[in-house]
Amino acid sequence: MSWELDDDGLMSPKILIIEDDERIRTSMALALEDEGYEVVGAADGEHALEIFGLGLVTHPFDLAIIDIMLPGINGFECCHELRRQSDLPIIMVTARTDTHDVVAGLEAGADDYVTKPFEPKELAARIRALLRRAHTTSSTTSNLSFGELEIQLEAGVVRLAGNELHLTRTEFLLLCELATNPNKVLSREQLLERIWSYDYFGDGRLVDVHIRRLRTKVELDPGNPRHIITVRGLGYKLAP
């Protein structure tokens, strides 16, 4: 397997496209290669997991794009499985914007989603947003602690009652955003902009589902959150 280098001599980000429609897969690969990415395609979930596993040994993937309508292992399961193995950014491709599909995809672990037929430019923008974030490291070195919850910003480590938690990058950034502004209410729009680089029209469900996922990890009683509080009509805040 050859590693592609971009103009700066850096390795170009490697993207895994899991899409059963060969024409879409090929056209997406062409469009994304134009954007400077290295693209590997897989037609089904089993194959994708295999390629992903191989990638881990040589040149790990930086991002995965998963169509939810897959034969065999469906997109949700595939996403879930990838998420179990790593915290690489995942973009779901759905055929419709129905709440059911979108929320199910996000709950399976996707970081973001696009709806068919999407503009390649729009997809590229989403990829850039997720990758840029994946490479930014926090400049603050301080450690924050809220009761039994402890956040080491620089190390990217979160502990609950002494146990290290496994958070995805999105969940970690969401937590950091709230934790560095304790008691301040952040609106969905603010969170969408800071974490996903979305404008005013970003989908609030992204925030809601990720908050829900985050609660299941950082709250002792997720049904009765003590730290991550919903402020009705306004947004979310972190209560120390």
Partner 1 sequence: MIARHVCSAAVRLRTALVGHHLHNRLSARITFLFGLSALLLGLVVSAITYYATRSSIVGQYSTAAQTTALDNAAIIHADLAAKLPGAQIVDNIDSTTSDSSSFLWTARGWSFSGRFNLNPQDLPAGLQRYVTGGTTAEQIFTIPETGLDYIAIGQEITGTSTPSYYYEIFPMSQAQSELQSLLSALLGAVLLTTLIGLLLGRWASRRTLRPLHEVSEVARQISEGKLDARIETPSASDLALLSSSFNHMVDLLQERLVREERFTSDVSHELRSPLTTLGTSISVLESDADEMTPRSRQAIVLLSQEIRRFQRMVGDLLEISRIDAGSADLQLEEVYLYELVRRCLDRTTSLTVPLEVETEVQDWLVLADKRRFERIIANLVENAQRYANGITRIRVTAHSETLAWIAIEDLGPGIAEADRRHIFERFARAATTAGQRGTGGGTGLGLALVTEHIGLHGGSIWVEENEPLGARFVIEIPRHLRDIDDPEDEQ
The residue ranges that bind partner 1 (CB under 8 A) are 21, 23-24, 27-28, 30-31, 34, 69, 95-99, 116-121, 188, 199-201, 203-205, 212, 215, 224-225, 229-233
Query: Rounded to whole angstroms, what are the CA distances from 209 to 80, 112, 136?
Result: 15, 11, 23
Query: Rounded to whole angstroms, what are the CA distances from 123 to 3, 32, 68, 193, 222?
Result: 23, 9, 16, 16, 33
Pick the closer one to partner 1 by CB: 153 or 207.
207
Please report, as a single letter, which amino acid is at residue 194: R
Cross-strand bridge partners of residue 51:
none
Least Å from the CB of residue 232 to partner 1: 4
Token pair of 20 as six digits:
């059963």
Pick the closer one to partner 1 by CB: 49 or 104.
104
Least Å from the CB of residue 230 to partner 1: 5
Pick the closer one to partner 1 by CB: 131 or 229.
229
Least Å from the CB of residue 119 to partner 1: 7
Pure H helices in the chain: 22-34, 45-57, 75-85, 99-107, 120-135, 169-179, 188-196, 204-218
Pick the closer one to partner 1 by CB: 120 or 156.
120
Least Å from the CB of residue 200 to partner 1: 4
